[in-house]
Structure formats: C-alpha cells, structure tokens
C-alpha cells in the first residue's frame, strides 16, 4: 500500500503522523521537491523529527547518512548517468551485478527491450563517452537503478515526466507491484502517477486541507478535484 501528498513549496513546517506511506505530488508549475530533500539527505537535514522503522523521535540530523542511504532508492530530477556500461549504471552499489537481477530491474522500468537491442546489451557503454540516450531512456534507466537496489524506502522526483503515455502506463503498473511492503515518496505533476494511492494528503501552505483516497477526494470537489478536472480537460 502507498499514499500521496499534494503540497505547495512554500511549506515551512509539516506535521503528518500515522500515514504509513506518503507520496508528494506537486501542484502544477510549482516545485515540491524540497519535501524530499531532508528525507533523502540530498541536502543537510534541518531540525526535525521523523519515525523510521518504528523508531520514534529520531532527529534527522542524528540519523547515520551511510546506514540510511543503504535503505533508500532515489530518482531525482537531477540524477545523472555515468560514462560507463548499462550494467554499472543500474547496479551502482553492486560490484558483482547478476544478469538476472539486471533484467528484472530493467523489465520493471520497461527498458529491457532497448538494452537488449544495444550492441553489447547490458555491457554497452553509455553516457558522455558512450552511446547517447534520450531523456525518456535516461529516466527509465534511473528507475531501473532504484528498482535494482530493492530498497525499503523509495524517493521518486518527477520520475515519469519525460515518458510518453504508453511507457508511463506500463511502468506505473510494474511499480505498483514493486511498491508492495515499501515506503514510497513521490513528487509528480501527473495525477496518473498517484491516483491509485491508498492515502492522499493535500497540503496548502503547510496546512492539511484534504485527506483520503482518490475517489473520496474527488467527491469533496476541493483542491484535489480541481487538479484532476484541470488535467482531464487538458488531456482531452
């Protein structure tokens, strides 16, 4: 199971409890990526407390960065591809990656067919000094990297924004299975990536204004409903 959080970037303090899985969804044209930074240690953690694996009141600044990073998989907007083989890019933390595990991760990210079409498959060099890849292929490669790690906690920042509708649909379906028994935090502008969340929290200027499932919030005809309606109209 997983959840979603809609938020504006002007947040100064957020207090959310008893939400086992939280995803952050950015309101159109606004960036909610800062919500991910403290939890992923992509920036120095500010004062605050969080509960991790049942340990209450753990100050973010007191968590071991090394131990925490071993438990998380991250796909940020500014993540990059190394000038190395496909295998090395997907299995970044594994010095002896297995082909089967690489294929499984690539399958979830819907990029296995592309990789196998390369001259040397997983051992083809990509990046600045290798084969060039498109923005969509890069994004799927980064998703495969997070999946390969099989972490307890997953942070996705606009992880499907460069994908076409067909690729996104396949990957979201694959990820829903992969997300089971994991904590997932996602920043996304596309409602299609979060509408199946078990819990959705709508934050407006740091205040929780709505909470529930996609269907429940749609019935409220509030902020979430407006976002859904606007995206459906744009899509049509």
Residue 131 forms part of a structural domain: yes
Residue 155 forms part of a structural domain: yes
| pLDDT tens per residue across span 189-207 | 677 777 777 777 777 776 7
| pLDDT tens per residue across span 47-74 | 555 555 555 555 556 667 777 777 788 8
pLDDT at 48: 55
Residue 219 forms part of a structural domain: no
pLDDT at 214: 86
Residue 59 forms part of a structural domain: no
| pLDDT tens per residue across span 211-227 | 888 899 889 999 888 88
Q: How far apart are CA 125 and CA 82, in angstroms?
A: 9
| pLDDT tens per residue across span 158-177 | 888 888 889 999 998 999 88
Q: How many CB atoms lie within 10 A of CB 230?
A: 12
pLDDT at 233: 66
Evaluate whether 21 touches 184 at the Cβ level (below 8 Å): yes
**Residue 3: which of 216, 206, 149, 207 has the closest Cα?**
216
Instruction: State how beta strands 199-204 and 3-7 pair.
Output: parallel
CATH of the domain at 115: 3.40.50.300
**Residue 159: which of 189, 123, 125, 114 has the closest Cα?**
189
Residue 93 forms part of a structural domain: yes
Residue 84 forms part of a structural domain: yes
- Domain span at residue 84 reads 73-186
Residue 156 forms part of a structural domain: yes
Q: How many domains does the chain have?
A: 1
Residue 85 forms part of a structural domain: yes
Residue 115 has pLDDT above 50, yes or no: yes
pLDDT at 223: 86
148 alpha-carbon distance from chain centroid:
14
**pTM to 2 decimals?**
0.75
């Amino acid at each position: 199971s997983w959840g979603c959080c809609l938020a504006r970037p002007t947040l100064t303090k957020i207090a959310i409890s008893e939400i086992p899985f939280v995803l952050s969804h950015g309101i159109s044209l606004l960036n909610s990526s800062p919500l991910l930074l403290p939890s992923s240690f992509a920036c120095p953690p500010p004062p605050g407390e969080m509960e991790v694996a049942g340990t209450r009141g753990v100050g973010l600044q007191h968590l071991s960065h090394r131990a925490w990073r071993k438990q998380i998989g991250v796909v940020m907007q500014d993540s990059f591809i190394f000038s190395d083989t496909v295998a090395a890019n997907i299995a970044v933390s594994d010095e002896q990656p297995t082909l089967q595990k690489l294929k499984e991760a690539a399958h979830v990210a819907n990029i296995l067919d592309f990789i196998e079409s390369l001259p040397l498959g997983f051992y083809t060099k990509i990046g600045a000094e290798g084969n060039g890849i498109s923005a969509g292929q890069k994004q799927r490669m980064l998703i495969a990297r997070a999946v390969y790690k099989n972490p307890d906690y997953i942070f996705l920042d606009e992880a499907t924004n460069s994908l076409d509708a067909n690729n996104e649909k396949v990957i979201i379906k694959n990820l829903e299975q992969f997300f089971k028994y994991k904590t997932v935090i996602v920043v996304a502008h596309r409602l299609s990536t979060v509408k199946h969340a078990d819990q959705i929290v709508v934050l407006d200027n740091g205040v929780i204004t709505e909470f529930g499932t996609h269907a429940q919030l749609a019935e409220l005809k509030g902020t979430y409903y407006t976002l859904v309606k606007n995206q459906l109209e744009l899509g049509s």
